Amino acid sequence: MSDIFREIDEEIRRENLLQLWSRYGRYIIAAVVLALLAAGAVVAWRDHQRSERESQSTRFAGALALTQQDKDSDAAKAFAAIAQEGGGYGTLAAFEEADLLGKSGDAKAAVAAYDRLAGSGSLDPELRDLAVLLSVMREPADTDPKTTVDRLAPLTAAGNPWRPSALELTAAAKLKAGDRAAALDLYKSIADDVTTPQGLRARAAEMSAALTP
């Protein structure tokens, strides 16, 4: 008798499955097809991104080669094109473009390029701070020293990787503004900081000696 009941139970299950399939089968098939399409799209997108990165890498290397051939104008255009595409190489290209603009004597354009990087929310904070630092270095000679000091203030905080360079530029701005005492204090603090790069400490020590009454 148990075999009969088992067969009946299995038959009922088969009928239930057939009913469920007839009702929902097309939806299940559609879901499977969509999943396969989505998986294929993801793979295709990753392949596309890898191809784009490889293309950017090749073009970035080509732009660097142009700088080595003293073709800075052509290199700047190539870097500008890569920068517009974004991504890691796009960021590097934007810095390279700004540097070339500065070397060409177009300080205003260089500052503007660095300021765009400094204001980019997609960049890491350290890279944004670096852009501020480089922008200050390219500022025109008639820039208000107070403006320079204010821009550098966040970079002089303890723990900031650009702090030593920001302090040196701040000291120079203080000296330019006529605040000799403040500049001397800053140069002394830089020279005495063992965590500061040796070259920067040496420059600060020389300035301290020159400013000491």
pLDDT digit string, tens, across residues 120-160: 888 899 999 999 999 999 998 889 999 999 999 999 999 99
With respect to residue 206, please indicate whether it lies within any of the assigned structural domains: yes
What's the pLDDT band for 5 if we cut at 50, 70, 90? very low
With respect to residue 163, please indicate whether it lies within any of the assigned structural domains: yes
With respect to residue 205, please indicate whether it lies within any of the assigned structural domains: yes
Q: Where are the beta strands (DSSP E) in 24-144?
A: none
Q: What percent of the chain has pLDDT over 70?
A: 75
Q: Burial letters for 118-152: b for 16+ Cβ neighbours within 10 Å, e otherwise?
A: beeeebeeebbbbbbbbbbebbeeebebeebbebb
With respect to residue 193, please indicate whether it lies within any of the assigned structural domains: yes
Q: pLDDT value at position 89?
A: 85
Q: pLDDT value at position 132?
A: 94
**The token pair that represents 162 in the structure block:** 């650009």
Contact 204, 191 (CB under 8 A): yes
With respect to residue 132, please indicate whether it lies within any of the assigned structural domains: no
Domain that holds residue 161: 145-213
pLDDT at 55 over 60: yes
Which residue has 């051939």 as its token pair? 69
Q: pLDDT value at position 70?
A: 86
Whole-angstrom distance, CA of residue 213 vs CA of residue 208: 10
CA angle 170, 175, 180 (to 5 degrees): 120
With respect to residue 108, please indicate whether it lies within any of the assigned structural domains: no
pLDDT at 58 over 90: no
Instruction: Classify residue 157 by its DSSP letter.
Output: S
With respect to residue 150, please indicate whether it lies within any of the assigned structural domains: yes
pLDDT at 45 over 50: no
pLDDT at 3 over 60: no
Q: What is the mean pLDDT of residues 3-11?
A: 50
Q: Burial letters for 66-79: b for 16+ Cβ neighbours within 10 Å, e otherwise?
A: bbeeeebeebbebb
With respect to residue 207, please indicate whether it lies within any of the assigned structural domains: yes
When divided into structural domains, the chain yields a total of 1
Q: pLDDT value at position 19?
A: 66
Q: Is the dihedral of CA 155, 159, 161, 162 positive or negative?
A: positive
| Entry pTM | 0.72
Q: What is the mean pLDDT of the chain?
A: 81
